[in-house]
Structure 1
Amino acid sequence: MLKKRARIIGVPMDLGAGHRGVDMGPFAVRIAGLTPQIMALGYEVEDDGNVPVKIQEQMDSGDPKLRFLPQIVEVCRELAEWVEEAADAGDTPIVIGGDHSIAMGSLGGLSASYRKRSCDLGLIWFDAHADFNTPGTTTSGNIHGMPFAVLMGYGAPELTQIGGFSPKFHPDRVALIGIRSVDPEERDLVKRSGIAAYTMREVDERGLPVIMREALARVTAGSSGFAASIDMDCFDPGWSHGVGTPVTGGLSYREAHMAMEMIADTGKLCHVDLVEINPIFDSANQTSEMGVELVLSALGKRIL
């Protein structure tokens, strides 16, 4: 029986974020034992190292509505190539950020691989924020607030056309879970987009298992696989505090693991992003260790 294969790709980029330090995330996650623990699940693991990223001190931020746009496009294009190659080889890419703008590259590359095979792809996105801003709605100009919109075809053409096609996903096969901080104009675009967006109020009222069953039915229906893009600020900062933009009232530790375990139960997970871990705000690398635990649960680690 062939072993499953995972491909780890680090992206030490903070160009899309408002706080420095998230570029250290890939190093902290590796130190937390990502590779040996995935191997313990029975995977063959290859670590491709880090996509090259220039530091902010080497460049000008440029357009205040699209800060560091050319540099982010360059990184995301290269990342897309790395992920596409890994997916073409049948590996499961595990992409470690870095800020959430890297998802434009990672999921762009994954989508390109599936598109070549005429296969449909789903996406489940865990985040405290909708990440659905555009240059016309952003108040900060930070591109890490835009990647979900970009993947759905909204925003600057330089970003939406990474990989040469747009959108990367159909709204009927996309779900967003955990949001509790959304800008007013961003809210309108989320509603118009046709994606399924589950706020923390809905999680509280209906319960996470119900939400996850709905979301997973959506992202797996008619698809050959789905990606999970995990922003660690989705979870409550009481236990996941090593992030740059924490928002009180997120998923609990057990809810987070339940979500990942339910993902594993589908058998259709084909890609993971783990993003927005900022070691500067962490304590003894706890958030990185918890992020690794969540990835393991998504890949099939069980209590019994």
Structure 2
Amino acid sequence: MSIDMSGREVALIGVPTDVGASDRGASMGPEALRVAGLRERLQAHGLVVHDRGNLSGPANPWLPPVEGYRHLAEVAEWNRKAHEAVHAELTAGRLPIMLGGDHCLGIGSISAVARHCRETGRKLRVLWLDAHADFNTSAITPTGNIHGMPVACLCGFGPAELTGIGGQVPAISPKWIRQIGIRSVDAGEKRFVHEHDLEVFDMRFIDEMGMRHAMELALATLDERTHLHVSFDVDFLDPDIAPGVGTTVPGGPTYREAQLCMEMIADTGRLGSLDIVELNPACDVRNRTAALAVDLVESLFGKSTLMRKSSRG
């Protein structure tokens, strides 16, 4: 199936903060993606690209956790700003692409998408492409870093400053999430994931069943009333091909597996919003990881390696 995205309006929203992370540097992610040609590559596929520049917010104070949360006030402010920016683009009929920044920002972007879905009567499906489940709480986190908590916060488990962004608690149901590529989960977090029945296609599943089968299941039952959000943490990828992240975990998807993942998402024609997070140029080699991320995002918007004639479209 070939999906024509020509004329579709997208908005790039830079959110340059590493306030939720364990390492400094993700704040430089938005510029690295721009340097890697994200806007130009999307325009080459016929998309109308509006670059909104970067949001501004509090500096990273680099302090220890307080009552299980590190930098809670700063994380909340950045997420409120991300929420409003993403929601405004959705309301205007544009597809928002949030350029992070660390993955705590998924709270703001996904709560905005959920709010938009409530306002328009649409269903929501979230694909969480990540090495980590990000389903920690203050009671089980080993670090207090909020980039390990966004899925839990979106599902209503966390401080009111974060769970209430978007006006409804919980912002989403665990049933709406499909996690792909997971291979690093804390012990308490694993129990919590099982208690709430998150659907997880971890690397063992992908090794045994293949990326194609994982994506077929993750994308099953989408229809014309479904808004598909992709939250792409660059540490989803194997660090051999994507070293530019703060929390590398060996054993991730290969280049071809990641391309197949993105192409199958594109084939649905349902992509409505996107996060690109945790790109850390301080850990990268000549912006190699940013270039790979841009290449994969291109595939989300229709670039395909398909040479044979499709039997599906």
Q: Same fold (TM over 0.5)?
A: yes
Q: Is the 8 A contact 2:29 2:281 kept in 1?
A: yes
- Whether contact under 8 Å (1:130, 1:181) holds in the other structure is yes
The answer on whether the counterparts of 1:272 and 1:295 sit within 8 Å (CA) in structure 2 is no
After TM superposition, give the deviation of residue 290 of structure 1 in Å.
Answer: 0.5
Amino acid aligned to 2:207: D
Provide the aligned length of Structure 1 versus Structure 2: 302
The answer (yes or no) to whether the contact 2:17–2:60 under 8 Å persists in 1 is no
Q: Corresponding residue for 1:232?
A: 234
Give the CA deviation at 1:222. 7.6
Shift of the alpha carbon at 1:61? Answer: 5.2
State the 1:221 CA deviation. 5.3
Aligned partners of 2:82 and 2:264: how far apart in 1? 28
| Contact 2:65-2:144 at 8 Å conserved across structures | no
What is the match of residue 216 of structure 1? 219
Matched, 1:192 2:195: yes
Unmatched segments (≥5 aa) in structure 1: none
Cα separation, 2, equivalents of 1:221 and 1:131: 27
Q: Secondary structure at the match of 2:231?
A: strand
Give the C-alpha shift of residue 224 in structure 1: 2.1
Which residue of 2 is the match for residue 138 of structure 1? Answer: 141
Identify the residue that residue 310 of structure 2 maps to in structure 1: none
Matched, 1:295 2:294: no
Quote the residue 2:39 is aligned against.
35
Matched, 1:82 2:81: no
Q: Name the SS for the 2:181 alignment partner.
A: strand
Q: Distance in 2 between matches of 1:174 and 1:269?
A: 14
Structure 1 residue 155: Cα displacement: 1.6
- Answer yes or no: is 1:16 the counterpart of 2:29: no
Q: Aligned partner of 2:74: which letter?
A: Q
Q: 2:283 aligns with which of 281, 284, 289?
A: 281
Whether contact under 8 Å (1:93, 1:271) holds in the other structure is: yes
Aligned equivalents of 2:301, 2:196: Cα separation in 1: 30
Letter of the 1:288 partner, please give it: A
How far apart in 1 are the matches of 2:173 and 2:71? 28
Q: Please say which of residues 16-25 and 170-179 is displaced more in the overlay.
A: 170-179
Q: How does 1:45-84 map to 2 (within 5 A)?
A: 45-57=49-61, 63=66, 65-84=68-87
SS in 1 for 2:220: helix
TM-score (norm 2): 0.93
Higher deviation after alignment, 48-57 or 140-149 = 48-57
After superposition, the C-alpha distances for 1:133-187 in whole angstroms (9 at most, x for unaligned) are 0011111000000001111221222111111112222333220011111011101
Matches within 5 A, 1:75-114: 75-114=78-117
Aligned-partner Cα distance in 1 for 2:225–2:209 = 26
Superposed CA deviations along residues 61-112 of structure 1, whole A, max 9, x for unmatched, are: 5615111101111111111011001011111111111100011011111111
Whether the aligned pair in 2 keeps the contact of 1:25 and 1:98 (CA below 8 Å) is yes
Contact 1:123/1:173, CA 8 A, preserved across alignment: yes
Instruction: Look up the equivalent residue of 2:85 and give its one-letter code.
Output: W
**CA distance, structure 1, for counterparts of residue 6 and residue 292 of structure 2:** 29
Structure 1 37/9 Cα, relative in aligned 2: closer, same or farther at 3 Å? same
SS of structure 1 residue aligned to 2:136? coil
Provide the TM-score with structure 1 as the length reference.
0.96
Percentage of pairs with the same residue: 42
Quick one: which amino acid aligns to residue 42 of structure 1?
G
**Aligned pair partner of 2:9 in 5, 29, 53:** 5
> Quick one: distance in 2 between partners of 1:291 and 1:210?
23
1:272 corresponds, among 271, 274, 293, to: 274
Give me the whole-angstrom Cα distance separating, in 2, the residues matched to 1:126 and 1:55: 27
Q: Which shows bigger deviation, 168-177 or 293-302? A: 168-177
**Cα RMSD (Å) of the superposition?**
1.6
Alignment-mate amino acid for residue 56 of structure 2:
P
Range moving further from structure 2, 146-155 or 62-71? 62-71
